[in-house]
A and B are shown apart, each in its own frame.
Chain A
Amino acid sequence: MKDEKTVIEDVNREFYDFRFEEGDDVFRVSEGLTEAIVSEISREKNDPDWMREFRLRSLEIYKRTDMPDWGPPIDGLNMDNIVTYVRPNAGMKASWEDVPDDIKTTFERLGIPEAERKSLAGVGAQYDSELVYHNVKKEVAEKGVIYTDIESALHGEYGEMIRAHFMKLVPPQDHKFAALHGAVWSGGSFVYVPRGVSVEIPLQSYFRLNAPGAGQFEHTLIIVDEGADLHFIEGCSAPKYNVANLHAGCVELFVGRNARLRYSTIENWSKNMYNLNTKRALVEEGGKIEWVSGSFGSHTSYLYPMSILNGRGARSEFTGITFAGHGQNLDTGCKIVHNAPETSSYVNTRSISKSGGISTFRSSVVVNKNAENSKSSVSCQSLMVDSESRSDTIPAMDIKTDKADIGHEAKIGRISDDAVFYLMSRGLSEENAKALIVSGFAENVSKELPLEYAVEMNNLIRIEMKGAIG
């Protein structure tokens, strides 16, 4: 099965697509997503029947659901021609020459190896990451941990488990892009950590980024069983470039009784990307979800990881950072539903906007009637690097019991000229002074990350800060 995803197969398919399309380009131009296309995807992926039906049902929902109208504008997405996002044709494939210069420069600055650069940009051969992936897999497999791509897991002994969980937390009815995801999802990871097992090393989807279709509609499904413990790291700091500039991934996390899952992400999409991602965790009694989230890049982002605290004493911790630079509108935040007594949530975020970038932080805390003696504390801080940039915080709270302890704090500030002058008077250039202030501001997030990621994130901040000055 895996062998189908080799370089040669890919090239062949493109070639085939190209010939196939020669005659009916005109017909395709303003075509919506059809049953035929979704069925074809399903056939290619060798889906089990239930999955094919699921895709088609999602397609129906997709068709009758309206576009979201409450967030940053997404009219840049041409929904009449959604096919070009779902199935970029051969003619649309970029060549290395077409990859924007800023991305190439970032690759260089991050020291990404040549071979990997092209692959990250979606224009080169597949980066051979399977080897690393296999080693990790072997190590954890000894403990009974399943860590695999989701397509092959569908057919294995965990097929039923996937069926029982797949898009149950994020149903296709949720919003238009969840429905789209349900219809055309492709790639992603499946992790199952059995009862009582602690996975010592973080599992990293970094190595798997370059699977075909991954990084666009990928699905991540993680089940951490009772008393088990896992740290999963998604993404990497290299900007992912894709001519099809829509990302509608989905992450579903199931945290069992007294289990713990830490889910860390650094996303750095290319600056043409519409990132409409949905992430959700369900936490049982005494369990804990810890989100660490760094959002960089993209043209427009909608990203609000949600935690549903469903059992007594369940906890959620969210630490996030968002960096919106020139031309970017990043709408991020998080949602928490307290749905059992003695649950607690803790949110701590930083957002940075620069050179006209817009960053909006939305938080939503719901405390249901049954969630007595629950606690929630939300703190968000925004920093504007200059006066052209914008920052907003939009808190929402719905507290249905008196017996809850709820706190919210928001601060919005601008880098003061005095602070820059102070640091410059100690020998730092203006650029370095501002970068120092920004990385200091971000420090509470970077310290949550494993060292090498923290270093990468600081690098990213430095890179984003370059050119902050006229």
Chain B
Amino acid sequence: MEEKLLVIKNLRSGLEDKEILKGIDLEIGKGETHVIMGPNGAGKSTLGNVIMGNPVYTVTAGTAEYCGEDLFEMSVSERAKKGIFMSFQNPIEVPGISLENFLRSASEEVTGERVRIWPFHKEIEKNLGILDMDGAYADRDLNVGFSGGEKKKAEILQLMMLKPKLAILDETDSGLDVDAVKTVSGGIREYQKDADASLLIITHNAAILESLRVDKVHVIVDGRIVETKGPELIDEIVKDGFAKYEEQGE
């Protein structure tokens, strides 16, 4: 039996006065890539945030085990240290610290080891190359003044540098031009090369998935997973939309 990285059972979560996730079951094995699709407002980002530990959302029921440990007992930074990463739908601008310096401190936090400056710098340069970004971005303040697309690329750069075990990508492809989608997809593929790297990709768009290996696709409607299938589901949804699931939900 393959090893489970994340096992979520009957997860209910939301805001004080509003339940958003209404009983989610989800299992992600080591090295697997899962895709989550669903209409706007279905709770996709919320799911990603709850796995990452955003304190805005309260967990009211259910369990989650990550590497055999209780996920909900871990602080956000512990989760990061244990290998969970989320690429944000809206990355935050942080003035006063360069992308490279930030990545170095983050890397030191995550690995608990001192980073060797020069090899690290070389690796950033290489990965920026893969992402078709100028080396100068490493010296710019973290996300400050980055265009929408550049922010998304910078998130993938972080993914490539921090090498998590489980990466949640929340609409990393939205706002990217056609070529950039391919480039970013290339960056994700690099990450996938590690056999143990697992992915949870939230997207509305099949293009980013074209060149990626996908194991499972889930459809979330109104806080519930209403369908789980293989990669063939992507094409069905692109063709037919979510109408049939939404009716089901009602």
Contact B86 A427 (CB under 8 A): no
Q: Which of B52, B80, B96 contacts A440 (CB 8 A)?
A: B96
| Closest-CB distance, A433 to chain B (whole angstroms) | 8
How far, in Å, is A460 (CB) from chain B's closest CB? Answer: 15
State A417–B55 Cα separation when bound (angstroms): 9
CA A422 – CA B94 in complex, angstroms?
10
In the complex, per-residue mask of A163-192: 1 if CB is within 8 Å of any chain B CB, else 0: 000000000000000000000000000000
- Interface size counted on chain A using CB atoms at 8 A: 23
CB within 8 Å for A424 and B77 given contacts A417-B55, A417-B56: yes
- Answer whether residue A428 sits at the interface, using C-beta atoms and an 8 A cutoff: yes
The answer on a CB contact under 8 Å between B106 and A427 is yes
A425 to B56, CA, bound (A): 14
Does the CB pair A428–B105 fall under 8 Å? yes
Q: Which residues of B contact A436 (CB under 8 A)?
A: 94, 97, 102, 105
Query: Could you tell me if A441 and B95 are in contact, using CB atoms closer than 8 angstroms?
Result: yes
By beta carbon, the residue of chain B nearest A423 is B94
Q: Is B60 an interface residue (CB 8 A)?
A: no
Whether B80 and A425, one on each chain, are in contact in the complex, defined by CB atoms closer than 8 angstroms, is: yes
In the complex, what residues of A have CB within 8 A of residue B109's CB?
A: 426-429, 432
Q: In the complex where A424-B77, A425-B86, A427-B109 touch, is A440 in contact with B95 (Cβ < 8 A)?
A: yes
Count, A-B residue pairs, CB within 8 A: 77
A384 at the interface (CB under 8 A from B): no
Nearest B residue (CB) for A437: B94
Contact A430 B77 (CB under 8 A): yes
**Closest beta carbon of chain B to A411's beta carbon, Å:** 12
Among residues 103 to 118 in chain B, which have CB atoms less than 8 Å away from a CB atom of chain A?
Answer: 105-106, 109-110
Is the CB of B92 closer than 8 A to any CB of chain A?
yes
Kindly state the separation between the CA atoms of A442 and B94 in the bound complex, as whole angstroms.
Answer: 12
B78 → chain A closest CB, angstroms: 9
Residues 216 to 232 of chain A near chain B (Cβ within 8 Å): none
- On whether the beta carbons of A442 and B80 are closer than 8 Å, the reply is no
A418 at the interface (CB under 8 A from B): yes
- Residues of A close to B75: CB separation below 8 A: 424, 429-430
What distance in Å separates the Cβ of B90 from its nearest Cβ neighbour in chain A? Answer: 8
**Known contacts being A417-B56, A422-B91, is A427 close to B80, with CB within 8 Å?**
yes
**B residues near A417, Cβ cutoff 8 Å:** 55-56
Q: Identify which of residues 389-447 in chain A touch chain B, using a CB-to-CB cut-off of 8 Å.
A: 416-419, 421-430, 432, 436-437, 439-444
In the bound assembly, the distance between CA atoms of A223 and B53 in angstroms comes to: 58
In chain B, positions 61-81 with a C-beta closer than 8 Å to chain A are: 75-77, 79-81
**Chain B interface extent, by class:** 20 to 34
Given contacts A417-B55, A421-B54, A421-B76, contact A428 B106 (CB under 8 A): yes
Q: Is the CB of B96 within 8 A of A427?
A: no
A437 to chain B, nearest CB (A): 6
Separation of A406 and B107 alpha carbons in the complex (Å): 45
Q: Which residue of B lies closest to A431 (CB)?
A: B77
Contact A427 B110 (CB under 8 A): yes
Question: Are A427 and B94 within 8 A (Cβ)?
Answer: no
Of A417, A422, A439, A444, most B-chain CB atoms within 10 Å: A422
* Residue numbers in B under 8 Å from A422 (CB-CB): 88, 91-92, 94
Q: In the complex the two chains form, what is the Cα distance from A27 to B229 in whole Å?
A: 93
Q: Which residue of A lies closest to B95 (CB)?
A: A440
B138 in contact (CB, < 8 A): no
A424 to chain B, nearest CB (A): 4
CB distance from B16 to the nearest CB of A (A): 14
**B96-A443 in contact (CB<8A):** yes
Q: From B103, which residue of chain A is reached at the shortest CB distance?
A: A426
CA distance A439 to B106 in the complex (A): 16
Q: Tell me how far the C-beta of B171 lies from the nearest C-beta in chain A, rounded to whole angstroms.
A: 16
In Å, the complex CA distance between A417 and B162 comes to 23
Q: How far is the CB of B227 from chain A (nearest CB, A)?
A: 29
Given A439-B96, A440-B94, also A424-B80 (CB < 8 A): yes
Please, which residues of chain A bring their CB within 8 A of the CB of B97?
Answer: 436, 439-440, 443
B185 within 8 A of A: no
Q: What mask results when residues 120 to 163 of chain B are scored 1 for a CB within 8 Å of chain A, else 0?
A: 00000000000000000000010000000000000000100010
Per-position 1/0 for A332-352, Cβ under 8 A of B: 000000000000000000000
Q: How far is the CA of A368 from the CA of B60 in the complex (A)?
A: 65
Q: Decide: B96 and A442 in contact? CB cutoff 8 A.
A: yes
For B91, what are the chain A residues with a Cβ–Cβ distance below 8 Å?
A: 422
Q: Which residues of A contact B54 (CB under 8 A)?
A: 421
CA distance A439 to B96 in the complex (A): 7
Within the complex, the shortest CB–CB distance from A288 to chain B, in Å, comes to 26
Interchain nearest-CB distance for A313 vs B (Å): 32
Beta-carbon contact of A418 and B95 below 8 Å = no
Q: Are B106 and A419 touching (Cβ within 8 A)?
A: no
- Tell me the complex Cα distance, A369–B102, Å: 49
B191 within 8 A of A: no
Min CB distance, A444 to chain B, in Å? 8
| 9 pairs of A and B residues whose beta carbons are closest in the complex | A440-B96, A427-B109, A443-B96, A424-B76, A427-B80, A426-B106, A427-B110, A422-B92, A419-B92
| 26 A–B contacts, CB within 8 A, in A order | A417-B55, A419-B92, A421-B52, A421-B53, A421-B55, A421-B56, A422-B88, A422-B92, A425-B53, A426-B109, A426-B110, A427-B81, A427-B106, A427-B110, A428-B105, A428-B106, A429-B109, A430-B75, A430-B77, A436-B102, A439-B97, A440-B97, A442-B96, A443-B95, A443-B97, A444-B96
- Beyond the given A419-B92, A421-B53, could you list 6 further A-B residue pairs with CB under 8 A, ordered by the A residue number? A424-B75, A426-B110, A427-B110, A436-B94, A436-B97, A437-B94
Footprint of B on A, CB under 8 Å?
416-419, 421-430, 432, 436-437, 439-444
Q: Which residues from chain B sit less than 8 Å from chain A, CB to CB? A: 52-56, 75-77, 79-81, 84-86, 88, 91-92, 94-97, 102, 105-106, 109-110, 141, 158, 162
